Chains A and B, each alone.
Chain A
Amino acid sequence: MQYDVLRTYTTSTRERPLEQRQELDHFLGSVQKRAFRMAEIATGNREDAFDILQDAMCRFVEKYSTRNFAEWMPLFHTVLQNRIRDWYRREVVRNRFRVWFGQSADEQDTNSLENLADGRGRSPEQQLQSRQGMEVLDQAIRQLPVRQQQAFMLRVFEGMDVTQTAKAMSCTTGSVKTHYSRAIHTLREKLDGHWP
């Protein structure tokens, strides 16, 4: 992974603005695709994922770019996860308005795993064979509580250890272990029969 290569940077960037821009460019370039996909999985919306990532990058550059490189990855994911949490809070408010304006719960429930599998007339196995296995995984992860999502994606997708994940999630290592364990258990149950 590109991140492993970037770990070799250890010097402070405070006094080297030109080099700092190059290092930031390199760092953000190495994380942008994975971060975008994580935001897209969390929100289920491509445009929202772009907005979240832009906010996260701007915030990270403004606030933390002068920190030591070794801190960049957990700090960037802290910012990203905070932005995703903000998005969820706003989404809760939006959903309340949708209910007030008469949209039924059935209409909102269009993203379930079952609907995805049946909606295109293909079995989950066919989806996986046609490179769309990620969609099944997307839906299963999206149905997890936010904190479980975060713990799972940071630990599995980003390969962070428990301490780094706790820092990124601004919680204790014990909470990370609990969220992660529950996420794995739930995903194994949900994907059973839909996973090769």
Chain B
Amino acid sequence: MIGDKTEQQFIDEVKTVFDQNVEQIDAETVSRLNNIRNIALDTATGKSRHWILYPAGAFAAAGLAIIIFNVIQHDVSTATIRAEDIEIISAIDGLDFYENLEFYRWLEEYETST
């Protein structure tokens, strides 16, 4: 009965049971533990998986740069089109002038040549 034992006796018994249990760990478990330990040590000696991150990071950065560049380009062209649209809409000449733009250009060239 535990009630008959001192606290220290109980602790000593528990520790003994644990120590014996640790010593009885089977070979397969120990082998897996050794494997885990080697993985951890490889991490420390530069054989870690982190080297994979460098080219991956470079590709990601390059991809991001291309996307940002395209977005900026797209925004610039969009802004240009929008400025032209506003100019046309707000022009006092009316839309008929712009619809016949090709004709007016031809007329200008014809008058200049004659």
On A, residues with C-beta under 8 Å from B are 17, 20-21, 24-25, 28-29, 32-34, 36-37, 50, 53-54, 57-58, 60-62, 65, 131, 133-134, 137, 156-157, 159, 184, 187-188, 191-193, 195-196
Q: How far is the CA of A32 from the CA of B29 in the complex (A)?
A: 11
Cβ contacts under 8 Å, B30 to chain A: 33
Interface of A is mostly: helix
Interchain CA distance A153-B1 in the complex, whole Å: 22
List, in ascending order, chain B residues with CB within 8 A of A184's CB: 7, 10-11
Contact of B37 among A28, A191, A196 (CB under 8 A): A28
Number of interface residues of B (CB under 8 A): 29
Known A-B contacts A24-B44, A50-B36; A37 and B2 likewise in contact (beta carbons under 8 Å): no
Given known contacts A24-B44, A193-B1, A50 and B21 CB-to-CB distance under 8 angstroms: no
Q: Which chain B positions have C-beta within 8 A of A58?
A: 39-40, 43
B40 touches A28 (CB 8 A): yes
A169 to nearest B CB, angstroms?
18
Contact B37 A25 (CB under 8 A): yes
Interface core residue of A21, A134, A187 (most chain B CB under 10 Å): A134
**Chain B residues with CB under 8 A of A21:** 41, 44-45
* B44-A62 in contact (CB<8A): yes
A17 B18 Cβ-Cβ under 8 A: no
Instruction: Find A65's partner among B29, B32, B39, B44 (CB 8 Å cutoff).
Output: B44
A191 near B2: Cβ-Cβ < 8 Å: yes
Contacts A24-B44, A36-B29 known; list 5 others, CB within 8 Å.
Answer: A20-B44, A28-B37, A32-B36, A134-B21, A187-B14
Residue of B at shortest CB range from A135?
Answer: B21
Which residues of chain A come closer than 8 Å to B13, judged between CB atoms? 195-196
Give the residue name and chain of the B residue nearest to A155 (CB): B11
The 6 closest A-B pairs by CB, nearest first: A57-B40, A134-B21, A61-B44, A32-B33, A54-B36, A192-B2
Residue from B11, B24, B33 within 8 A of A36 (CB atoms): B33
Given the complex of chains A and B, what is the CA–CA distance between A62 and B21 in angstroms? 30
A residues less than 8 Å from B33 (CB atoms): 32-33, 36, 53
Residues of chain A within 8 A of B21, CB atoms compared:
37, 134
| 18 pairs, A vs B, C-beta closer than 8 Å | A25-B41, A33-B22, A33-B30, A36-B29, A53-B36, A54-B36, A54-B39, A54-B40, A57-B39, A58-B40, A58-B43, A131-B20, A157-B18, A159-B15, A187-B10, A192-B1, A193-B1, A196-B13
